[in-house]
């Protein structure tokens, strides 16, 4: 009898403990909200901990804000708890801060490290070599396809599609201005504030320009560089200079609010990047193209949770939802812009239209029949890969074993560097 | 009402001397008051528990062995530049060009790594890098000093402008070395580790910290016990006195500023060879200016500078920890750092001056 009572009490105690544990689990889930639906059935996220390294403060930089918002959305969607994610911002590219930050995150249990800036790559590679059990994912980097490290990955997106569509919106606006008699056809000059004379920027403004010219044939474009990814004053000055030089529409590839605000001051329409800027320019912002990082973040977290390999190099697309346009600002955009964008987007998705179709542009008066680009970044800065295939420049061609980060670095006719 | 008072309600007199223990109490009070005020700000602005915020701040530097080493490294890098500007400042040569002198040193060091790669034995390469860094730091500092010594030009502006020249020079070299236009020079020699300061005791920063510690002691002795140290302080107090007692003022200015530039060069070397293994225009990261604060707060005493640079590094690391933990923008931590520094600098007033209230009997 005594024995039975003992066994019974043990069973009861166990039941109580298990019951409590179950309760605890439940309340935790409740606290995370009801956003667990997109999480893949049966995937156990408990062993995932991800650290995000941002170059600038997302409160100030549109570039970092874009990553931060995607990260927060994915963390909420997958139901990760607060202690399964670390965010660090203002981590400079210079020195060893990025390495140290990654190592600190690993000390705190992170098994995925993500860094968002091009200049973080060297430190990320060092850390990846030192911590082979941790996955390192780096946006805009160029080394994953040439590196021996299995735990080092790059990612980018075919943002040239998005830029092209944003260019379509710009072309519509230019046509509207011509029709209304505000400018003549040859005054349809776009101004572009670029960051560095680097392929990512060149690819960006070229696809934007080709999109604009797809709609407005007489469009030309002036480009200025700030030689900085983030400099409010320089970006503002750049935009003002372009406006003074007769540019009637401005776009930019630089991370601050400098250019959109300058446009709002002067009443010049602006097409932006990374972020909906209609709050900065309510009467001038037309539309923004952006990379949506949610699909990639979901992919890497799911891969680690399931113990699967993360692709060496990932290029998001219109199809994966990685390339997006923000809502068209109807107050500024030409009538029918949203419809036109949808129409062109469908053509791009079907492959009937290619952004870098060599029939649509010339370089120094000639068609680009063949071009070798520095796709494999071996540190020698020498081009080695033929990138023209089937009459189009293959940008971010991960399907061909190329890298996802852009390598289109040709200045095409119609674009003038200032 | 019509009574005339000759003595104002408050008047301030300079203290002849305050016992060190009293001065210490004033300083401790200042820190406590600063924490209290900053705590008040935190509660009013964010509604967070200030004690938790302070605990988090502390965690930023001391919760792990690694964080502690990062704190030591940050402190050492700041301290090294502070030690560099100290002899010049003590001589009342306002060297605002530390930023540029560090960059010049770092650039020379990077150039050695870039061009020599692993063609030489590592110890020889590192010696060449040190020599190149020190020499560049000296050149960058001695140009304004030469003009100051010969034509009494304004060194504040001159050294400041030399910073921009250095930044442009670094941009130019990066553009030349990196033809793809990205403006980022990747970490150099990452496979061969040529020109990398070795890692001792498995601590990447051990040598950095050790070298700066040695410089600290040497600088203390130099300033306090050497003839050079005495001469530069006389020139600082009064150039006429210096001339009168037969000191060659021109020589002292050039020698002292060269020393300042040389240590900045070492700092550039440590930042490249011992830390980042590459260069960018942000190499010194504003430390060239923060170092002046470190040096002044410590009244040019190298050992006290260890404490002041530690304090500033601690505040910066803590601020970044707060920003990350509470996902706040960095402004709140800047405010906290600002308040603390304001009180610490402000308390010097109470140490140097006495506030006298009108005595009641005057009525």
* Residue B184 neighbours by CB under 8 Å, 6+ apart: A93, A118, A119, B174, B178, B280
Residue in chain A closest to B60 (alpha carbons) equals A104
∠ CA B12-B17-B21, rounded to 5°? 110
Is B66 in contact with A104 (Cβ distance < 8 A)? yes
**Partners of A389 in the β-ladder:** A392
* Residue B79 neighbours by CB under 8 Å, 6+ apart: B212, B216, B294, B305, B306, B309
Higher pLDDT, A82 or B76: B76
Do residues B129 and B196 lie in contact, with contact meaning Cβ atoms separated by under 8 Å?
Answer: no
Residue B140, pLDDT above cutoff 90 = yes
Residues in A lying within 8 Å of B, measured between beta carbons: 57, 59-60, 86-90, 92-96, 100, 103-104, 107, 118-119, 121-123, 125-126, 196-202, 227, 374, 379, 381, 409
Q: State the fold for domain B68-317.
A: ABC transporter involved in vitamin B12 uptake, BtuC (1.10.3470)
Q: Find chain B residues with C-beta within 8 A of A95's C-beta.
A: 271, 275-276, 283, 285
Collapsing DSSP to helix, strand or coil, B205 comes out as coil
Shortest CA distance to A400 belongs to which of A385, A413, A414?
A: A385
Closest Cβ–Cβ partner in B182, B186, B276 for A379? B186
Structure confidence at residue A77 (pLDDT) = 87
Nearest-neighbour CA in chain B from A96: distance (Å): 5
Please state, for a pLDDT cut of 70, what percent of chain A lies above it: 89
Mean pLDDT of B137-156: 89
Collapsing DSSP to helix, strand or coil, A271 comes out as strand
Distance CA A137, CA A151 (A): 8
Distance CA A48, CA A70 (A): 17
Each domain of chain B, given as residue ranges in start order, spans 68-317
Distance CA B7, CA B111 (A): 67
Is B276 in contact with A95 (Cβ distance < 8 A)? yes
Distance CA B342, CA B326 (A): 24
Residue B155, pLDDT above cutoff 70 = yes
Residue A34, pLDDT above cutoff 60 = no
Strand A112-115, strand A313-316: pairing:
unpaired
* Residue B134 neighbours by CB under 8 Å, 6+ apart: B105, B262, B265, B266, B269
Please state, for a pLDDT cut of 90, what percent of chain A lies above it: 20
Is A96 in contact with B285 (Cβ distance < 8 A)? no
Distance CA B78, CA B297 (A): 13
Mean pLDDT of B159-176: 92
For tokens 């009443």, what's the residue? A267
Structure confidence at residue A114 (pLDDT) = 93
Q: Any idea what DSSP says for residue A334?
A: P
In terms of C-beta density within 10 A (0-12 exposed, 13-18 middle, 19 or more buried), how is residue A174 classed? buried
- Per-residue pLDDT band for B86 (boundaries 50, 70, 90) equals very high
- pLDDT per residue as tens digits for the range A206-240: 999 999 999 988 999 999 999 888 888 999 999 99
- pLDDT per residue as tens digits for the range A324-337: 898 888 888 888 88
Distance CA A275, CA A257 (A): 10
- pLDDT per residue as tens digits for the range B203-228: 788 889 999 999 999 999 998 898 88
- pLDDT per residue as tens digits for the range B284-342: 888 888 898 888 888 888 998 998 899 888 888 887 888 777 777 767 767 777 888 88
Structure confidence at residue A275 (pLDDT) = 80
Look up the pTM and report it.
0.81
Higher pLDDT, B10 or A11: B10
Structure confidence at residue B84 (pLDDT) = 93
Of the candidate ranges A11-20, A145-154, A351-360, B284-293, the one whose mean pLDDT is the lowest: A11-20
- Per-residue pLDDT band for A16 (boundaries 50, 70, 90) equals very low
The number of angstroms, rounded, from the C-alpha of A28 to the middle of its chain's C-alpha atoms is 32
Mean pLDDT of A61-88: 86
Do residues B77 and B317 lie in contact, with contact meaning Cβ atoms separated by under 8 Å?
Answer: no
- Per-residue pLDDT band for B281 (boundaries 50, 70, 90) equals confident
Structure confidence at residue A374 (pLDDT) = 84
Residue A30, pLDDT above cutoff 70 = no
Residue B54, pLDDT above cutoff 90 = no
Structure confidence at residue A18 (pLDDT) = 41
**Phi, psi of A152, rounded to the nearest 5 degrees:** -115, 130
Strand A50-53, strand A112-115: pairing:
parallel
Domains of chain A: 50-158+294-316 (3.40.50.2300), 159-290+327-350+407-417 (3.40.50.2300)
């Amino acid at each position: 009898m005594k024995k039975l009572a003992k066994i019974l009490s043990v069973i009861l105690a166990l039941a109580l403990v298990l019951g409590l544990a179950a309760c605890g689990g439940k309340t935790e889930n409740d606290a995370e909200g009801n956003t667990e639906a997109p999480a893949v059935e049966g995937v156990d996220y408990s062993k995932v901990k991800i650290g995000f390294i941002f170059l600038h403060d997302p409160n100030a930089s549109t570039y970092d804000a874009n990553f931060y918002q995607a990260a927060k959305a994915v963390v909420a969607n997958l139901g990760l708890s607060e202690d399964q994610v670390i965010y660090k911002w203002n981590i400079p590219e210079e020195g060893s801060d990025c390495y140290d930050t990654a190592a600190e995150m690993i000390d705190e249990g992170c098994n995925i490290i993500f860094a968002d800036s091009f200049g973080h790559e060297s430190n990320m590679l060092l850390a990846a070599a030192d911590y082979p059990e941790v996955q390192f994912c780096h946006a805009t980097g160029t080394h994953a396809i040439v590196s021996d490290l299995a735990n080092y990955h790059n990612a980018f997106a075919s943002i040239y599609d998005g830029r092209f569509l944003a260019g379509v919106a710009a072309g519509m606006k230019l046509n509207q201005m011509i029709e209304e008699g505000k400018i003549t056809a040859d005054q349809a000059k776009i101004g572009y504030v670029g960051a560095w004379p680097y392929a990512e920027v060149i690819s960006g403004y070229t696809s934007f320009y080709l999109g604009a010219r797809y709609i407005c044939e007489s469009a030309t474009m002036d480009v200025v560089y700030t030689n900085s990814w983030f400099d409010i004053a320089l970006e503002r000055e750049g935009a003002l200079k372009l406006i003074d030089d007769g540019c009637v529409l401005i776009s930019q590839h630089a991370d601050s609010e400098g250019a959109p605000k300058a446009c709002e001051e002067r009443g010049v329409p602006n097409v932006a990047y990374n972020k909906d800027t209609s709050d900065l320019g309510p009467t001038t912002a037309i539309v923004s193209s952006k990379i949506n990082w949610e699909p990639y973040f979901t992919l890497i977290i799911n891969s680690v949770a399931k113990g699967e390999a993360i692709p060496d190099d990932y290029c998001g697309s219109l199809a994966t939802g990685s390339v997006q346009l923000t809502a068209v600002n109807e107050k500024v955009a030409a009538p029918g812009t949203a419809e036109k964008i949808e129409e062109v987007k469908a053509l791009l998705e079907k492959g009937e239209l290619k952004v870098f179709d060599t029939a649509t542009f010339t370089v120094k008066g000639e068609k680009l029949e063949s071009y070798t680009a520095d796709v494999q970044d071996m540190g020698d800065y020498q081009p080695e890969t033929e990138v023209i295939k089937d009459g189009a420049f293959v940008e971010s061609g991960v399907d061909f074993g190329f890298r996802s980060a852009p390598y289109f670095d040709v200045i095409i006719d119609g674009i003038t560097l200032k | 009402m019509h009574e005339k008072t000759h003595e104002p309600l408050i008047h301030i007199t300079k203290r002849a001397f305050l016992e060190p223990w009293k001065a210490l109490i004033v300083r401790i009070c200042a820190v406590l008051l600063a924490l209290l005020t900053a705590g008040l700000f935190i509660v009013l602005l964010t509604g967070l528990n200030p004690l938790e915020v302070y605990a988090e701040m502390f965690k930023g530097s001391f919760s792990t062995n690694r964080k502690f080493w990062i704190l030591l490294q940050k402190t050492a890098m700041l301290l090294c530049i502070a030690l560099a500007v100290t002899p010049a400042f003590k001589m009342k040569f306002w060297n605002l060009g530390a930023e540029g002198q560090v960059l010049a040193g770092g650039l020379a060091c990077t150039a050695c790594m870039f061009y020599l790669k692993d063609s030489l034995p590592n110890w020889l390469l590192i010696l060449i890098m040190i020599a190149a860094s020190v020499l560049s730091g000296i050149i960058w500092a001695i140009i304004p000093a030469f003009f100051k010594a010969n034509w009494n030009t304004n060194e504040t502006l001159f050294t400041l402008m030399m910073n921009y020249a250095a930044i442009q020079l670094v941009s130019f070299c990066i553009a030349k070395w990196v033809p793809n236009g990205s403006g980022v020079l990747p970490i150099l020699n990452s496979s061969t580790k040529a020109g990398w300061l070795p890692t001792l005791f498995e601590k990447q920063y051990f040598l950095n910290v050790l070298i700066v510690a040695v410089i600290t002691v040497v600088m203390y002795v130099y300033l306090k016990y050497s003839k050079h140290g005495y001469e530069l302080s006389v020139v600082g107090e009064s150039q006429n006195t210096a001339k009168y007692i037969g000191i060659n003022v021109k020589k002292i200015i050039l020698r002292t500023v060269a020393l300042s530039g040389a240590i900045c060069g070492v700092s550039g070397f440590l930042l490249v060879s011992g830390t980042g293994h590459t260069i960018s225009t942000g190499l010194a990261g504003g430390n060239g200016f923060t170092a002046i604060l470190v040096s002044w707060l410590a009244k040019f005493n190298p050992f006290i500078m260890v404490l002041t640079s530690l304090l500033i590094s601690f505040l910066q690391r803590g601020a970044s920890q707060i920003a990350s933990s509470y996902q706040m923008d960095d402004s709140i931590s800047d405010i906290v750092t600002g308040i603390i520094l304001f009180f610490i600098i402000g308390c010097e007033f109470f140490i140097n001056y006495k506030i006298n209230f009108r005595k009641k009997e005057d009525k």
